[in-house]
């Protein structure tokens, strides 16, 4: 039967290793479970950074084209497509 997990070896400064052990004991998790949780939190953090970047881009684009409502966006799209009301 094939393994359902892979092993990852990392080198850590002793202080960080001790902190991971302390947190694992406190949370009553294995170091592997704690690491998986940390990766999940980091992925959530990256997702939030990506969304914030998109929001900033959206705000900058709205300012550039003087868009303040959904109607402004619809008009811009219709104009670009050559659609007349």
What is the predicted pLDDT for the residue at 57? 96
Q: Could you read off the pLDDT of 1-35 as tens digits, one per residue?
A: 778 889 999 999 999 999 999 999 999 999 999 99
Query: What is the band of 79 on the pLDDT scale with cuts at 50, 70, 90?
Result: confident
**φ, ψ for residue 30, nearest 5 deg:** -75, 165
Which DSSP state fits 11? Answer: -
CA distances from 63 to 57, 59, 67, 73, 78 (A): 10, 6, 6, 12, 19
Render pLDDT for 59-73 as a digit per residue (tens, 0 to 9): 999 999 889 999 988
Closest by alpha carbon to 66, among 79, 51, 76? 76
Which position has the higher pLDDT, 27 or 74?
27
Whether residue 82 has pLDDT greater than 70: yes
Alpha helices in the chain (DSSP H): 14-27, 31-64, 70-81
């Amino acid at each position: 039967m094939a393994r359902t997990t892979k092993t990852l070896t990392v080198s850590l400064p002793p202080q960080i290793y001790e902190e991971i052990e302390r947190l694992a004991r406190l949370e009553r998790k294995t170091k592997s479970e704690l690491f998986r949780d940390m990766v999940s939190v980091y992925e959530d953090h990256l997702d939030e950074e990506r969304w914030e970047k998109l929001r900033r881009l959206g705000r900058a684009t709205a300012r550039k084209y003087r868009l303040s409502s959904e109607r402004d966006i619809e008009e811009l799209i219709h104009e670009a497509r050559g659609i007349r009301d």
